[in-house]
Amino acid sequence: MKFVCLNCETYMGFEKVEKPAEGSLGVFFGCPSCGAKFSMVTNPGETQMVSSLGVKLGGRTVAAEPFEMTRGTLKDEALAGSGQMAAYLNEKIQSGQPVATASSEAKTAPNHGKDGEKSASGCPFSAMVAEMGLTSSSKPGAGATGMPDLTWTADAKERLERLPSFVKPMVQSSVEAYARKHGFKTINLQVMDDSKNDSNGVAWTPEAEKRLENIPDFIQPMARREIERIAKERGSATITAELMDDAKEKFMKFM
Amino acid sequence: MAIEKDLKTILGKLNYSDDAKVVQQITEQMRQVQARMAGIQHKLVVMSGKGGVGKSMTTVNLALALARQGAKVGLLDVDLNGPCVPRMLGMTGQSLTMTPDGAIPPVGPLGIKVASMDFFLDPASPVRWKGPMDVSPVWLGLMEMNVIREFLADVIWGELDYLLTDLPPGAAADKPPVIAGFIPDLAGAIVVTTPSEVASDVVQKSVTYARDMGIRVLGMVENMSKYRCPSCGAEHDLFEGDTEALCDALNVPLLGRIPFDRTLARTFDKGIPLLDDQYPTIQRFQEIAGRIQSLLDYKKVLAEKL
């Protein structure tokens, strides 16, 4: 945040920070040209925002102590339960003064929410959620053949149905994504198997697959990914026994 | 009457300088985390997504298992609101020693160095922060993230073979994978689940989110897989889930299964942890720790066996 002296058309310089009251900061600025001075005073909410970043306004003059923020912001037992911001808002409301916009909105949110639902016929937060770019993947639990562009063969569907209910949606969406990526319209057992070992266009020869079995099973997924990465680096579309030899030689350097 | 000035024109003439030095300080904070953790060979996080699956118990026992194999181990408990590692290791009442160079962690069983929020709290006191947390949880999130950043930046771990970080429960953007993203050169995540379908459902989301964040998921530990009878030692099912199917679907190796063991749990509850390496459940943890070591050294395994 910067301040500009409109008279002198220059940035004002940071001078110092004071603490005029508990939960409040006074930050002083001065114009290097005309000498004009002013202080920006923060309320407890604004102070908290700066403090939560763990930074010092104006930069540090001494090095941070270990756990400076943790120790400095843990509430003492005596202070437990005292709501600083709540007290601030209460004080403003009692005295009839306006409080910050966000707080006012929070205070009156329930009514706005109801009105908003009636007039906009939807959740009042939907616009915000859409703005955030949240995406909800389609609900694959709706049925094995829920996606109209793909057809599941009876045996593939049966295999899917045999899976525990909590993994079914994940497997279904992953197989369907694989099928779309590779242009399949029908999902059969082969597509299911291939999707499981989707190697992004890298094929394994039977001999290479066999050699992978020499690796303990819990390391195989990692080994597969690593060897596929090496293949891609070399521009190879097929993992052969020769490529496995090269990979082995490369790994020998880590012995 | 004052002349209306065009701010855009004025700013166009001025050179911007970051007087508040906020960006500089945040960059410095991250640099300090990197410098502080430079002496740690393998940094691992233990996460679950679902609470109550025995994540801390698993983390503590994996740390002990690695220490038993002669490794220098650190354990960072960043479950700020429910820290329980010090109690489980019989370290309640100990604290970090503050020095100008940083905070020295106390040393627990088998030489494990431990840092935890619990060391800042009085017995039975919850974590309470100063400031207007009562009105906006947004500040609470910021504050907690910075406290975790201090745990990463300020603890003097020295040279360690392994640092295990016990993450709080949570599946996605509500912290754990984001915290893991703070840790420089993270070797990977160990995911803890129970065979319960509810736990599996949440755990799969946390794995997906962790991968989105670029975190390597090393494998899964199934906790409470069975109930071990303290009288006869027989094991019975507690849940009817299928962790193997979950691992298969996620393409994550199942590193091992740990039974619910009342005898072992009681010793950790009392802060007098059972350390006998011949005890069956502890042997299971030893096996899992061995698999984790192999996964971390997978290049050597590939060189030998490919």
Segment B131-167, tens digit of pLDDT: 665 656 667 777 888 888 899 999 999 999 999 999 8
Which has the minimum average pLDDT: A40-49, A208-217, B35-44? Answer: A40-49
> Which of B29, B99, B301 has the CB atom closest to A219's CB atom?
B301
Task: Return the pLDDT at B130.
Answer: 74
Q: Report how far residue A31's alpha carbon sits from residue B31's, in angstroms, rounded to the nearest whole number.
A: 34
Residue intervals of chain A classified under CATH 1.10.8.550 are 199-255
Under the banding of pLDDT at 50, 70 and 90, the label for residue A34 is: very high
Q: Model pTM greater than 0.80?
A: no
Q: Which of A243-252, B30-39, B128-137, B163-172 has the lowest mean pLDDT?
A: B128-137
* pLDDT tops 90 at residue B257: yes
Of residues B284, B250, B146, B163, the one with CA closest to residue A166:
B250
User: Could you read off the pLDDT of A170-190 as tens digits, one per residue?
Assistant: 888 888 888 888 888 899 988
CA angle, A109 as apex, A106 and A112 as ends, to 5°? 145
Over its C-alpha atoms, chain B yields an Rg (Å, rounded) of: 22
The 10 Å Cβ neighbour count of residue A121 is 7
What string of DSSP letters covers B9-31? HHHHHSPP--TT-HHHHHHHHHH
Confidence of residue A137 (pLDDT cuts 50, 70, 90): very low
- Best of B4, B15, B25, B130 to substitute, by most chain A Cβ atoms within 10 angstroms, is B130
Q: What residues of chain A, 5 to 24, have a C-beta less than 8 Å from chain B?
A: 6, 9-11, 13-14, 23
Considering only residues A88 and B194, tell me which one the structure prediction assigns the higher pLDDT.
Answer: B194
Give me the pLDDT at residue A127, please: 45
Total residue length of chain B: 306
Q: CB-CB: which of A73, A219, A254 is closest to B129?
A: A73
Mean pLDDT of chain B: 87
Closest-CA distance, B231 to chain A, in angstroms, reads 33
Residue A130 has pLDDT above 60, yes or no: no
pLDDT band of A84, cuts 50, 70, 90: low
Maximum Cα interatomic distance, chain A, rounded to a whole number of Å: 83
Q: What value does the mean pLDDT take over residues A26-53?
A: 83
- Between chains, do B22 and A166 touch, taking CB under 8 Å as contact? no
A76 pLDDT more than 90: no
Assess whether pLDDT exceeds 70 at residue A243: yes
A contacts of B14 (beta carbons < 8 Å)? 4, 9-11
Q: Which residues of A touch B146 (CB under 8 A)?
A: 52-54, 69
Residues of B in contact with A199 (CB under 8 A): none
HSE-up (13 A, CA, CB side) for residue B169 = 14
**pLDDT at res. A133:** 47
Q: Averaged over A229-235, what is the pLDDT?
A: 87
A158-162, A169-173, B101-105, B131-135: lowest mean pLDDT where? B131-135
Least confident segment among A56-70, A109-123, B12-26, B151-165: A109-123
Residues on chain A touching B291 (C-beta within 8 angstroms): 218
Residue B103 has pLDDT above 90, yes or no: yes
Quick check: A90 contacting B, CB < 8 Å?
A: no
Number of helices (H) and strands (E), helices first, in chain B?
Answer: 11, 10
**Is it the case that residue A82 has pLDDT exceeding 70?**
no
CB atoms A83 and B134 under 8 Å: yes
**Class of domain A1-57 as given by CATH:** mainly beta
**Domains in chain B, ordered, with CATH?**
37-299 (3.40.50.300)
Q: In the 8-state DSSP scheme, what is residue B155?
A: B
Is B21 close to A1, i.e. CB distance below 8 A? no
When comparing pLDDT for B280 and B136, which is higher? B280
Task: Give pLDDT, residue A87.
Answer: 57
Neighbours of B162 (CB within 10 A): 25
B120, B245, B251 ranked by CB distance to A70: nearest: B120
Reported ipTM: the value is 0.70
Write down the pLDDT at residue B200: 81
Judge whether residue A156 has pLDDT over 50: yes
Left, alpha or beta for A61 (phi > 0: left; psi -120 to 50: alpha)? alpha
Chain A residues with beta carbon closer than 8 angstroms to that of B80: none
Closest CB from B100, B248, B255 relative to A218:
B255
Question: What is A199-255's CATH number, 1.10.8.550, 3.30.390.50, 3.40.50.300, 1.10.260.40?
Answer: 1.10.8.550
Q: What are phi and psi of A62, to 5 degrees?
A: -130, 155
- More confident call, A120 vs B261: B261
Predicted pLDDT of residue A103:
36
pLDDT of residue B211: 85
A204 close to A213: Cβ distance less than 8 angstroms: no
Residue A166 sits at the chain B interface (C-beta within 8 Å)? yes
Mean pLDDT, rounded, of chain A:
73
In chain B, the percentage of residues whose pLDDT exceeds 90 is 48
The lowest-confidence range among A143-147, B181-185, B200-204, B274-278 is A143-147
